[in-house]
Amino acid sequence: MVFQSLFLNKNKGFTLVELLISTAIIAILLAVSFWAYQGRGQGGIVISRASNLVITKTENTREMAISTKEIYGIVPSGGYGINFSLSNPYKFRVFADCNGNHIFDLSGTPCNGHSELIEEVSLEKGVKINSASSNILNITFVPPSPKVFFYTATSEISSPQVYIDLVFESQPSFSRRIYFDKSGLVYEQ
Q: In what order do the strands lie in the sheet with 186-188?
A: 127-132, 161-168, 175-181, 186-188
- What pLDDT shows up at residue 44? 84
Task: Give the angle subtended at the CA of 47 by the CAs of 166 and 59, to the nearest 5°.
Answer: 70
- What pLDDT shows up at residue 1? 52
- What pLDDT shows up at residue 17? 87
- Count, in order, helices (H) and strands (E) of the chain: 2, 9
Q: How far is CA 77 from the centre of its chain?
A: 29
- 71/13 Cα distance (integer angstroms): 77
Tell me the backbone φ, ψ of residue 177, rounded to 5 degrees.
Answer: -105, 125
- 50/128 Cα distance (integer angstroms): 9
Number of residues that make up the chain? 189
State the 10-residue block means of pLDDT for the chain, 189 residues long.
Answer: 54 80 91 67 85 97 93 92 96 95 91 94 95 95 92 94 95 93 92
Q: How far is CA 3 from the centre of its chain?
A: 71
- 129/136 Cα distance (integer angstroms): 11
- Reply yes or no: is the peptide bond before residue 76 cis, omega within 30 of 0: no
Reduce the DSSP state of residue 181 to 3 states and report it. Answer: strand
- What pLDDT shows up at residue 40? 55
Question: Which are the contacts of 127, defined by CB distance < 8 A and separation ≥ 6?
Answer: 46, 47, 50, 90, 166, 167, 168, 169
Residue 138 and residue 114 in contact, taking contact as beta carbons nearer than 8 Å: no
